[in-house]
Amino acid sequence: MNRPDTTTGWLATVYSGRNRAYGGYALRRAETRYTLRGLVAGLVLVGLIFGVPLGLYHWQQRMAARVPAEQVRVVTYHQLAPPPPIERREPPPPPPEKPVPKAKLRYAPPVVKPDEEVPDDELPPTVEELALLDPGPQAEPGDSVVWIEEPVAVVEPEPAPKPEPDAPMKPFVIAEVMPEFPGGIDGLYAHLAREIRYPVVAMENGIQGKVFVRFVVQVDGRVTDAAVLRGIGGGCDEEALRVIRALPRWTPGRQNDRPVPVEYTLPVRFVLKK
């Protein structure tokens, strides 16, 4: 037998006069029961999450309280043993001072006295008395005689310092008079057009453009320190360097009316003829 439907409230109002055998009605009717079950399960889960650590903490506190505490003996200052005596180390006695030799006067300064006050024992010997004295052994013929003289300090002159080579002058970037190729800029480009050989690799790959080469024109007009600043590859960079390094002497640049090295940057253009 089917139980009579005693549903009241908003659910009975919504499904009044409708087919309640439809699944939606049964689900909404059991919604309250499932909600209560979920709420109870959530509360139990939250209680376990917070209760278990709290219980472990209190259990550890009780176990720590059961550990017997170490007994501490209180000793007063008078019960302490006296400290050992401090050993005093005397500093070592200073070394004995060396006696300072007293200066001896070799020659007494002459004192002028009257003849009556000069005793006889202080008179210098006469020439006759000196002739009777033995002067010592005399050199015989054939004996070697050594003369001892006071040493003379020989001061050798210090060798003159070697002149240091002049440091190379740093090249100028801009000079009062810039270096010039024989024939001017037109002659320079004409020389490049005659000497440059277009690389085969660049021709086969259609490579063309400008190769920027930097070099230094020295005080004697020579071209040195050539390097590629920006190249295009395909052998064009090496060909531009070869031609620049083989350039003839330039008219050097001048600064303050004297020749100076000047840095020069030259674009070398490679163009394929159609």
pLDDT tens, position by position, 13-67? 776 666 666 667 677 777 778 888 889 999 999 989 988 888 888 888 888 776 5
CB 244, CB 223: distance < 8 Å: yes
Q: How many domains does the chain divide into?
A: 2
- Within 13 Å and on the Cβ side, how many CA atoms surround 30? 7
Distance CA 200, CA 209 (A): 15
Q: Note the pLDDT tens digit of each residue in 100-124.
A: 665 454 545 666 667 667 666 555 6
pLDDT band at 68 (very low <50, low <70, confident <90, very high): low
CATH number at residue 203: 3.30.1150
Q: Which of 54, 69, 101 is the last residue of a domain?
A: 54
Distance CA 7, CA 31 (A): 13
In a domain, 212, yes or no: yes
Which residue segment(s) compose the domain that 230 sits in? 184-270
Distance CA 114, CA 108 (A): 18
In a domain, 86, yes or no: no
In a domain, 121, yes or no: no
In a domain, 188, yes or no: yes
Between 177 and 25, the more confident residue is 177
In a domain, 46, yes or no: yes
In a domain, 128, yes or no: no
pLDDT band at 224 (very low <50, low <70, confident <90, very high): very high
The mean pLDDT of 223-238, rounded to a whole number, is 91
In a domain, 166, yes or no: no
In a domain, 72, yes or no: no
